[in-house]
Amino acid sequence: MNMGDDLYREIILENYKSKKNRGALESPAFHQEGVNPSCGDDIELYIKSDGERITDVSFDGMGCSICLASANMLCEAIRGMKVDEAERLIDGVKGMLTRNEVPDFPDGAEDLEAIQGVANYPVRVKCALLSWNTLNQILEEIRGESA
């Protein structure tokens, strides 16, 4: 097996090329930019929420395949989720990529296991985590508003 095959799996390339979740939402309730200054990944995450659930989500920006595929998977996974479920999912993704934890993702989020290979490329972990860290900032904001 060539090095890189564990990283650039078909499912990642499909998510990277997908345009389904790209572009700004119209009048999103929440909007946050995420930047990795060392490599130039630069994304924006848009979220609509009724306070309890994430009713819609999209993203836009520039980045490598890992960054953009991860952001696309994020959108697919969290649309319709409760805020606390999304928080648990962020922790699950971080655990898989930074603490070697075996992932146990809920139904509809299993695609995320495809980015597990990124954990073997420490300098690329930040690419995969950018959208999730950005989501975390928005969830804190949602929590703050409903508190």
The residue range among 7-15, 43-51, 52-60, 90-98 that interacts with another protein, by the rule CB under 8 A, is 7-15
Q: 59 is written with which tokens?
A: 């993203």
- Least separation in angstroms between residue 38's CB and another protein is 7
**Rounded CA Rg of the chain:** 14
Q: Which residues pair with 33 in a beta bridge?
A: 44
Residues 6+ apart with CB under 8 A from 36: 42, 63, 67, 126, 127, 130
DSSP class per residue in 45-77: EEEEE-SSBEEEEEEEEE--HHHHHHHHHHHHH
The residue range among 59-67, 77-85, 108-116, 137-145 that interacts with another protein, by the rule CB under 8 A, is 59-67
Amino acid at 17: K
Exactly one of 96, 124, 128, 130 binds another protein (CB under 8 A); that residue is 124
- Least separation in angstroms between residue 46's CB and another protein is 21
- Least separation in angstroms between residue 12's CB and another protein is 10
Can residue 64 be called a binding residue for another protein (CB under 8 A)? yes
Q: What angle do CA 65, 122, 129 make, to 5 degrees?
A: 55
With contacts defined by CB under 8 A, how many residues of the chain interact with another protein? Answer: 17
Can residue 28 be called a binding residue for another protein (CB under 8 A)? no
Can residue 142 be called a binding residue for another protein (CB under 8 A)? no
The residue range among 48-56, 64-72, 85-93, 97-105 that interacts with another protein, by the rule CB under 8 A, is 64-72
